Chain A
Amino acid sequence: MPFSIFFFFFFFFFKMKSYIWLQTVDGSIQQVEEEVAMFCPMICQEVLQTGMGSSKNYAISLPQRVNPAILGLILDYCRFHQVPGHSNKERKTFDEKFIRMDTKKLCELTSAADSLQLKPLVDLTSRALARIIEGKTPEEIRETFHLPDDLTEEEKLEPLRNITDDPRIRLLNRLYARKRKELKERKKLKDVEVEEEPKDERSVEDLLSFINGADGDMKGTRTNKNKKKNRRRKDHAKDLSSKNENENDKDLNPLPSAYHNVYFDNALEASASKHSRMQNLPAISFSPKFEFIDGDVDDDLDPAMKEELDREVEDFARRLNSDWPERMQILSLGQDRRLVPISINSNGSTHLYTALAGNSISKVSGS
Chain B
Amino acid sequence: MQILSLVDDQTVITASGVCRGWRDAIYFGLARLSLSWCSKSMNNLVLSLVPKFVKLQTLILRQDKPQLEDNAVETIAKCCHELQILDLSKSFKLTDHSLYELALGCRDLTKLNISGCSAFSDNALAYLASFCRKLKVLNLCGCVRAASDTALQAIGQYCNQLQSLNLGWCDNVGDVGVTTLAYGCPDLRIVDLCGCVRITDDSVIALATRCPHLRSLGLYYCKNITDRAMYSLAHSKVNNRMWGSVKGGNDEDGLRTLNISQCTALTPSAVQAVCDSFPSLHTCSGRHSLIMSGCLNLTSVHCACAVHAHRAFTTFPHPAH
Q: Interface residues, chain A, CB within 8 Å of chain B?
A: 110, 114, 122, 126-127, 129-130, 133-138, 141-142, 147-151, 155-164, 166, 168-169, 173, 176
B47 neighbours in A (Cβ, 8 Å): 162-163
Beta-carbon contact of A137 and B20 below 8 Å: no
| Contact (A147, B23) CB under 8 Å given A134-B11, A159-B49 | no
By beta carbon, the residue of chain A nearest B46 is A162
Beta-carbon contact of A151 and B11 below 8 Å: no
By beta carbon, the residue of chain A nearest B13 is A159
| Contact (A148, B41) CB under 8 Å given A126-B6, A160-B13, A163-B48 | no
Q: Which of A122, A133, A157, A162 has a CB less than 8 Å from the CB of B45?
A: A162
Q: Within the complex, what minimum Cβ distance (angstroms) separates A158 from chain B? A: 7
Most interface-central of A133, A137, A155, A173 (chain B CB within 10 A): A133
B3 neighbours in A (Cβ, 8 Å): 110, 126, 129-130, 133
Most interface-central of B13, B14, B22 (chain A CB within 10 A): B14
| Contact (A162, B11) CB under 8 Å given A150-B19, A151-B20 | no
Beta-carbon contact of B14 and A137 below 8 Å: yes
Q: Within the complex, what minimum Cβ distance (angstroms) separates A180 from chain B? A: 12
Complex interface bits, B2-33 against A, C-beta within 8 A gives 1, otherwise 0: 11101110010111111111110000000000
Q: Interface residues, chain B, CB within 8 Å of chain A?
A: 2-4, 6-8, 11, 13-23, 40-41, 44-45, 47-49, 52
Beta-carbon contact of B49 and A147 below 8 Å: no
Beta-carbon contact of B11 and A161 below 8 Å: no
Beta-carbon contact of B18 and A142 below 8 Å: yes
Q: Within the complex, what minimum Cβ distance (angstroms) separates A328 from chain B? A: 47
Beta-carbon contact of B14 and A168 below 8 Å: no
Bound: A228/B8 CA distance, A: 72
Beta-carbon contact of A173 and B17 below 8 Å: yes
| Contact (A155, B6) CB under 8 Å given A141-B15, A166-B44, A169-B45 | no
By beta carbon, the residue of chain B nearest A127 is B6
Beta-carbon contact of A169 and B6 below 8 Å: no
B41 neighbours in A (Cβ, 8 Å): 162, 166, 168-169
Bound: A158/B16 CA distance, A: 9
Beta-carbon contact of A147 and B22 below 8 Å: yes
Beta-carbon contact of B7 and A149 below 8 Å: no
